[in-house]
Structure 1
Amino acid sequence: MDTPDDLDQAAAVFAQVRPRLFGIAYRMLSSATEAEDLVQDVWLRWQTYDRSVVTNPAAFLATTTTRLAINALQSARVRRETYIGPWLPEPVDTSADPHLGAERGEALGFAVLLLLEKLSPTERAAYVLREAFDYPYRQIADILRSTEVAVRKLVSRARLHVASERRAVVTGAEQRRLLEAFVAAARSGDLTTLEGLLAADVVSYSDGGGVVTASRVPVSGAPRVAKFVTAVSRWFWAGVEITWSEQNGQAAAVLSRDGTVFAVLTVNASDAGIDQLLWMMNPAKFTAIAPVVP
């Protein structure tokens, strides 16, 4: 039976690695809420586990987190098949922690998270552990109950998938400039300026989850997107307060009315202009957003 000192030591060990555990879980699930729940589950397991047989607590906890995340992702994908409208990752505020528990900020941006949705859970885990946390291939193999050769193939396939479908991204400063210019043009209903900011094959995704009014199908093409944004500009932006923030390592506009957040907007962009407009509007996805003080 654990003594208070044993539990205090267990808590101290867990607290030290908790940011990394959350970083792994979030990159796997694209949901801060689900990642928090999973990390809490890991803590409960750590409390009741025979810790005397664990020689490397950090490795043990990372392994437990990854395996639970693989299982959770398989269940999450079943739920997302019946999700109403486009599904987008849940944003997390990275202004305080730009790498979100990793040595590098890899596999955190919205564009990459959306691409990772197309990988198998095991491929995604291998990619996250290698690219974001720089785990050795041998350790990843142990975590995934696989071989080093197989893990190298998983990571290679994942890298190719991300590289083949992702355009060369603009700098953070340029992404912020494009976002601010888009918001200004959208608020004023400036059709010409909007079309000039958008890539020809831009896609606008609105994630309302069937809870709020939002387009349930993606809107594609610069002329259609610009006209759609202009058409809703009068009522959508009425009384809106904008707070500029950093979500998932990129500039985002937190939109609120009377102090209540109702949307988070960001853009993914390349040299061709804004490639993707991401409107996160499902209230359930604002749990990791700092409250707006009116």
Structure 2
Amino acid sequence: MHLEQLYEDYQSLLFHLAYRMLGSVSDAEDIVQDVFLTLHQQDVHKIHHVKAYLIKTTTNRCLNVLGSARRKREEYIGPWLPEPLIDPQEPAAITEQNESISYAFLVLMEKLSPMERAVFILREGLRFEYETIAEMLDKTAPNCRKIMSRAKQKLPEESPVISPQQKTTPLIEAFIDAANTGNFQSFIRMLVEDASLISDGGGKVRAALKPILGRLRILRFLEGVSQKGAFQGNFLPISLNGEPSLLFIKEGQTTVAFCFAREPGASKVAHIYVVMNPDKLKKLQGVSQNRP
């Protein structure tokens, strides 16, 4: 099989695997490119199961990256949030979009060790049998089952692995109206009592250094930043990781990405994720020019 065909067949799969492992669009893209570059230097015909080989190679490269990333995140200024992934608009990508891993779940994955993350994604995300996972990770099947058990113990029950694709136009409209008027009362009523707001500036832009917990504190925070003119710009409703989101655009640049997440089966928002680190917004620049 030609390398071009292999790339066409497996690039998307490997990218989403790497993205779920790393929470970084740019790092995932780099790893996939590197995997195919390495494949180009080998005799493909000698590889018996190309798909399994590619997944194994990608997973192990992600594990190496996560090892160094953990140390960097210990020195990270403020909370670390994953890089948002914009959902495709093309009809051919509908199935892939419906299987978007929820942003809230990417945040939860930070509780797992790199190996727990790998086993969990290969099992829950890609539905591999434990024997196959064991071969990919140079483990035994019983060992992988134990790792999976530990991973599940660290995650809440009914974690939102796959985004529910809920329609939340009223929520988005309420936030935009609140930002424009400075009156957040209607929007706040759409949050659960113990909602959280987490912002990630990475020390590069001003952001809250700790999560803001509770509906009342979130209200005070939003009112405070609004009074300082933080929302003087334009909002673009968008879907990120299959969840209702907003981009804040100022002077033609995306400066903030808001992602709103519900708990499974809930009607109100439980988490607001505010990505402000410019390094995590690079892929979202110019989005407004490409949207209808």
| Superposition TM-score, scaled by structure 2 size | 0.88
Report the Cα offset of residue 159 of structure 1: 3.2
For the structure 1 residues 135 and 247, does the alpha-carbon distance in structure 2 shift closer, same or farther, using more than 3 Å as the test? Answer: same
Are residue 77 (structure 1) and residue 70 (structure 2) matched? yes
- SS of the aligned residue for 2:135 comes to helix
**1:59 aligned to which of 52, 62, 66:** 52
- SS of the aligned residue for 1:236 comes to coil
Q: Which amino acid aligns with 1:286?
A: L
Report the Cα offset of residue 290 of structure 1: 5.6
For the structure 1 residues 175 and 74, does the alpha-carbon distance in structure 2 shift closer, same or farther, using more than 3 Å as the test? Answer: farther
Q: Which amino acid aligns with 2:230?
A: F
Map of 2:199 onto structure 1? 206
CA contact (8 A) 2:99 2:162 kept: no
- Equivalent residues in 2 for 1:243-258 (5 A)? 243-258=236-251
Are residue 289 (structure 1) and residue 284 (structure 2) matched? yes
Report the Cα offset of residue 65 of structure 1: 0.2
For the structure 1 residues 150 and 287, does the alpha-carbon distance in structure 2 shift closer, same or farther, using more than 3 Å as the test? Answer: same
Q: Which runs of 5 or more structure 2 residues have no equivalent in the other structure?
A: none
Are residue 42 (structure 1) and residue 31 (structure 2) matched? no
Report the Cα offset of residue 163 of structure 1: 3.2
| RMSD over aligned Cα atoms | 2.5
| Superposition TM-score, scaled by structure 1 size | 0.87
Q: Deviation string for 1:239-287 (max 9, x for gaps)?
A: x212111111111111102321111101112437321111111111123
Q: Distance in 2 between matches of 1:288 and 1:100?
A: 19
* Larger mean Cα displacement after TM superposition, 171-180 or 27-36: 171-180
- Equivalent residues in 2 for 1:1-294 (5 A)? 9-96=2-89, 97=93, 100=96, 105=99, 108-164=101-157, 166=159, 172-173=165-166, 175-234=168-227, 235-238=229-232, 240-270=233-263, 271=266, 273-289=268-284, 291=286, 292-293=288-289
Q: Deviation string for 1:173-212 (max 9, x for gaps)?
A: 3545334323322332224324322222111111111111
- SS of the aligned residue for 2:166 comes to helix
Q: Which amino acid aligns with 2:272?
A: L
Q: Distance in 2 between matches of 1:16 and 1:83?
A: 36
CA contact (8 A) 2:111 2:155 kept: no
Q: Which amino acid aligns with 1:150?
A: N
Q: Which amino acid aligns with 1:126?
A: V
Q: Which amino acid aligns with 1:85?
A: G
For the structure 1 residues 161 and 174, does the alpha-carbon distance in structure 2 shift closer, same or farther, using more than 3 Å as the test? Answer: farther
- SS of the aligned residue for 2:207 comes to coil
Report the Cα offset of residue 223 of structure 1: 1.0
For the structure 1 residues 164 and 19, does the alpha-carbon distance in structure 2 shift closer, same or farther, using more than 3 Å as the test? Answer: same
Q: Distance in 1 between matches of 2:104 and 2:38?
A: 33
* Larger mean Cα displacement after TM superposition, 183-192 or 54-63: 183-192
Q: Distance in 2 between matches of 1:14 and 1:170?
A: 26
Percent identity reads 33
For the structure 1 residues 225 and 196, does the alpha-carbon distance in structure 2 shift closer, same or farther, using more than 3 Å as the test? Answer: same
Q: Distance in 1 between matches of 2:212 and 2:128?
A: 39
For the structure 1 residues 168 and 37, does the alpha-carbon distance in structure 2 shift closer, same or farther, using more than 3 Å as the test? Answer: closer
Give the total of aligned pairs: 283
* Larger mean Cα displacement after TM superposition, 65-74 or 263-272: 263-272
CA contact (8 A) 2:171 2:187 kept: no
Report the Cα offset of residue 51 of structure 1: 2.6
- SS of the aligned residue for 1:232 comes to helix
Q: Distance in 1 between matches of 2:62 and 2:95?
A: 19
Q: Distance in 2 between matches of 1:209 and 1:149?
A: 39
For the structure 1 residues 165 and 206, does the alpha-carbon distance in structure 2 shift closer, same or farther, using more than 3 Å as the test? Answer: farther
For the structure 1 residues 269 and 289, does the alpha-carbon distance in structure 2 shift closer, same or farther, using more than 3 Å as the test? Answer: same
Q: Distance in 2 between matches of 1:168 and 1:22?
A: 17
For the structure 1 residues 173 and 10, does the alpha-carbon distance in structure 2 shift closer, same or farther, using more than 3 Å as the test? Answer: closer
Q: Deviation string for 1:97-116 (max 9, x for gaps)?
A: 45659xx726x111111111
CA contact (8 A) 2:163 2:243 kept: no
